[in-house]
Structure 1
Amino acid sequence: MGHMQEQPELIAACAEKWDFNWLLHRAAQRVGAAFAEEIQNFGISLRGQLILQALATEEAQRTQLALGAMLGLDKTTLTSELDKLERAELLVRVPDPNDRRVRKPVITDKGRALQKEAGDALAEVERRFQARFSAREMETIRKALQDLSRGEGPVHGSCI
């Protein structure tokens, strides 16, 4: 799937938008679109990759409920993503030995391999964006974004 073509009217309407919120939003859209396009090559969504990454790097198993809370995904969205990943044999859900009503998603070897390959591909997409800036500029950008992400007030929505 190629890059989506922007409509000329949209470009004209947005050409003079330079306020801070708009710039952050537009940058996030561009990076997110590049990530979404790349992850399609692996047959999963960005949320699916986020879940696999959490399961691959988490030493202690998490319940579905805890995983959803950690990733900021509501129960319906998480369950849908877990269903897709389970059908693709990238994870299995096993009963908790302490409470058989509770299920714990566990990444499979196939899921771990796909997560690593997809993670490497997404890291390359990120490197291409970062290549526009010097190391010092990237340090400043990263620090500024981290400071903004730790802002005051509630955070709504998932990690993606």
Structure 2
Amino acid sequence: MDLAAQAACAQQVSLNWLLHRAAQKLGAAMQEAAARHDLTARGQLVLTALCQEDFRRTQLALGQALALDKTTLTAELDRLERAGLVVREPHPHDRRVRVPVITDRGRAVQGEVERLHQQVEREFTAGLEPAQCRDLQAILERLIASCRGPDSGSCL
């Protein structure tokens, strides 16, 4: 970024800009941590969702739950499947539909990257008191929950 662009960015103080910039910095650190295991941050999001499922979701339902469009999710599942982290099985009632399932290797990688992501979050918020971290999370959750507009775009 050139000096003029840096100066322009430094002048920004709107909530949108601050949230966006904080998300960029945290996201870059999260991506770097995931890349240590040849994973993307989005791939980690998918693996985490598959680890937490008490029931199987179709690719379509998984994409809707994660706010990922069909093309983006399919490409991510392709990468995860090539890496041996997920398999796509036929739906028991509709052979045309695929159900992504995490493998044992996928669970191991997800757990390790989750630990790295937790460390990244601790480092990112190291300048805050524990109560401030809890307050920040609670405020962000309230802002997200109170937004009445439609969800749009990817969650990552």
- What is the TM-score of this pair, normalised by structure 2? 0.95
Alignment match, 1:22? 17
In the alignment, the residues of structure 2 paired with residue 94 and residue 20 of structure 1 have an alpha-carbon distance, to the nearest angstrom, of 44
Alignment match, 2:106? 111
C-alpha displacement of 1:62: 0.7
Alignment match, 1:145? 140
In the alignment, the residues of structure 2 paired with residue 81 and residue 96 of structure 1 have an alpha-carbon distance, to the nearest angstrom, of 19
In the alignment, the residues of structure 2 paired with residue 51 and residue 136 of structure 1 have an alpha-carbon distance, to the nearest angstrom, of 30
The letter of the residue matching 1:67 is: L
Matched, 1:123 2:118: yes
Deviation sequence 1:69-109 (CA, Å, 0-9, x none): 10011111111000110000101001112111111011001
Q: Which runs of 5+ in 1 are unaligned?
A: 1-5
Runs of 4+ aligned residues of structure 1 deviating over 3 Å after TM superposition are: none
Matched, 1:101 2:96: yes
Q: How many residues align?
A: 155
Alignment match, 2:153? 157
Alignment match, 1:12? 7
The letter of the residue matching 2:26 is: V
Matched, 1:135 2:130: yes
Q: Percent identity?
A: 51
Aligned partner (choices 19, 27, 30) of residue 32 of structure 1: 27
C-alpha displacement of 1:10: 2.2
The DSSP-based 3-state class of the residue aligned with 2:127 is: coil
The DSSP-based 3-state class of the residue aligned with 1:73 is: coil
In the alignment, the residues of structure 1 paired with residue 87 and residue 43 of structure 2 have an alpha-carbon distance, to the nearest angstrom, of 14
Alignment match, 1:3? none
Deviation sequence 1:4-50 (CA, Å, 0-9, x none): xx433322111111121111111111111111111111101111111
Q: Which runs of 5+ in 2 are unaligned?
A: none
